[in-house]
Structure 1
Amino acid sequence: MPHFDLSLDELRAYKPALTAPDDFDVFWEKTLAEAGEYALDARFEPVDLPYTAVDVFDVTFAGFGGHPVKGWLVLPAGTRGPIPAVVQYIGYNGGRGLPHTHLQWAAAGFAHFVMDTRGQGSGGSVGDTPDPVGSAPAVAGFMTQGIQDPHDYFYRRVYTDAVRAVEAARSHPLVDASRVAVVGGSQGGGISIAVAGLVPDLRAVAPDVPFLCHFGRAATLTERHPYREIALYLKTHIGQDERVFRTLSYFDGMNFAARATAPGLFSVALEDQTCPPSTVFAAYNHWAGPERSMEVYAFNDHEGGGSFQQAVQLQWVPRHLRG
C-alpha cells in the first residue's frame, strides 16, 4: 500500500489540539485510587521448564476491581540481586502467550514482566485473563465495549491493569523498582503511552506503531479494524458521535503523551493503515518527557520495523535502565 497519510514533513509538524476533558486528571486519580483499595496480592509461581538460561514465574495480581490478571515474569537464571525491569503490553486480541516467546529482555540481563490483557488472547497468542465486566450493546471486538460512558469503557479496566502490572513487577524482590521501562507494539504501544502518563517515575517508554491515539482522526481515516469498530458502531447508533468521542477522550494516547515524564522511543510505519502515521505522530509530538525519538519505516505496514526495531530498542532501553 503506498503512502496515504500526510507527508513526512507534515507528520513531523502535526500536533492537533488535545482532547482531554477538564476532569481528565481527576478521573484517572479516582480510578487508580479505587484500584488501590484492593490489595495487589502479586503472586509469582515458579514454572518448571527445560530452560537453563532463564527462570520463569507464572504471575497473578489484582487489577481493576481486584480482578485477577495473569502475566509472566522471566528472569536471567540465577539472578541474585535487584535488576532493572521491562514491562511489556500485548497487541490487540493477543494474550501473554507462552514463556518461550519472551526471552529477549532476560537475555539482555533484565527482568521481563509480560502482562496478559483481560478478555483477549484469541488472536495470535493465547491469553488467560477473563474480563468479568459486561457492557451495553457493542460492535464485535473491544473498541466499543462500554463506550457510552468512560467509567464503563473497556480500556479503563485495561489501563488500570497496566498500572498495576508495573506495581506488581516492582513488588518482586529481584526487581529494582527504581529502574523500570514499559514497552509494547500496536495496542501494547498505546497502553505503554497511557502508563507513561499515569506512572510518574518510569525510566523509559518504547511504543511501537502505537494504537489508541487520536481517535477522532483514526476513525475517519482508515477502513481497517480495530478503529473501524468505532465507525461501525456510529453507523448503527446514529447521533451518538459526541458522546462516543467524549468517552474516547479519556483514553486517547495524545492526552497521556502530554503528561509523560520519561524518555520515549517511538516507531511509525508510513504505509500503516491499521495505526495511521498521523495518529502516531499526534501522540509523539505531544510527548512531554525529557527526550523523544522516532524511528520511521517508510515502506512498511503495521508490522513496522520488526526485528530492526527490536535491535534499536536493545540499544536504547538499556542506556536508560542502566544509566
Structure 2
Amino acid sequence: MSGRLMLGLGLALAASLALNAGFLLQHAGAADAPAVTPRRPIATLRGLLASRVWLAGLALGLGGWALHVDALSHAPLSLVQAFVTGGLVLAVPLATLGLGHRLDRGERRAVVLLGVALALLSAGLGPDRGAVVNAPALAAALGAAGVLAAALAATAPRAGAGALGAAGGVLYGAGDMAVKALTAIAHHHGAGAVLRSPWLAAAALATVAAFFCFQRALQTGRAVPVIALMTAATNVVAILGGVAVLGDRLGGSPPLQALHAAAFALVVAAAWRLAPTQAALQGAESEDVSAASISGSFLGRDERLPAETPGRVATVDVPGGPSH
C-alpha cells in the first residue's frame, strides 16, 4: 500500500470519529430547536445556531467533512467510504458515553464484521489511479440518486425519521461522487476548472438537500438509528458510484477482486445489521434526555435538566404537502 493511500485511509478514519461525535451533539442541540423545514431556511438555521451544543456538533462535523474531502483527494471513493463506515463502529461507543447505551451481541458482531471488512480491503492495495470522470454516467448516477432520495423522503410521514435519514444518506453519497470528480478535475486542471465545473453545483445542491433531510431526521427521530441509516445509505451509494461510475478498482488480480468485493458486501451487511438493532434502543434514547445531559456526559459531568413536556413531537413540514 502506498504512503499516499495510507494517508487517505487514515484521514477517512479520523473523519469518521469527528463526524459521528458531531452527529450526536447535533441531535442533542436540535431537540429543542424550532422545526427544521426547507420552507424557512433562515429561521431553521437561526434556531439551530442558538444552541451551543448544536454549534459544537457543527464544528466537529465541518472538521470531519474537511478531513473526508482531503481523504478523497488521496484515495478512491469506494475505499474512503468503506473506511468512513468505521464511523458506525465509533457511533455505538459514543452512544454508550452520551446516551448510556450498552452493546448487545448483535452490535458486537456487526462491529467485528466491520473490522474484518476493513482489514480485507487493506490487503493488496495499489496506488490510487485517480477518478475517471465520465460526465454522462456521473450525471445519470446523480439524477438517479436524487429520484431515490425524493422517493424516500416522500415516505417519511408513514415510515418515520429513518426514511429521511436514508434520503439524506443517498444525497450525501451523491455529493461525495461529485466531490470526488472535483478532486480529479483539480488534480489535472487546477482550481479554476473546479469553479467552472457543473459538479460543483451538483455537490452543493446534494449536500444542502442532505443537510435538511438529516437535520429533520435527527430532530424527529432517535439519534443512533438515524445516523446508522444515513451512514449506511451514504456508503452504499458512494461505493457503488465509485466502482461503477468513477472507475475504482476492486483489486489488481481476480483473487483480490473477489476478496475486496466480499469486503464491501461485509461493510453493507454490518451497517444494515447495526441499523435495526440501534432502532430498538427505546430505553437508551428516551425522549427526556436533554441537550445538557448529553453534553454533560461527553464532558464528564451530570447536568440533567427537567424532561421536556411529554407528547411534544415535531412534525415534518414538506413543501407542497399538508401543514401540521
User: Fold match, TM over 0.5?
Assistant: no
Q: As a proportion of its length, which structure holds more strand?
A: 1
TM-score, length of structure 1 as denominator length: 0.29
Higher helix share: 2
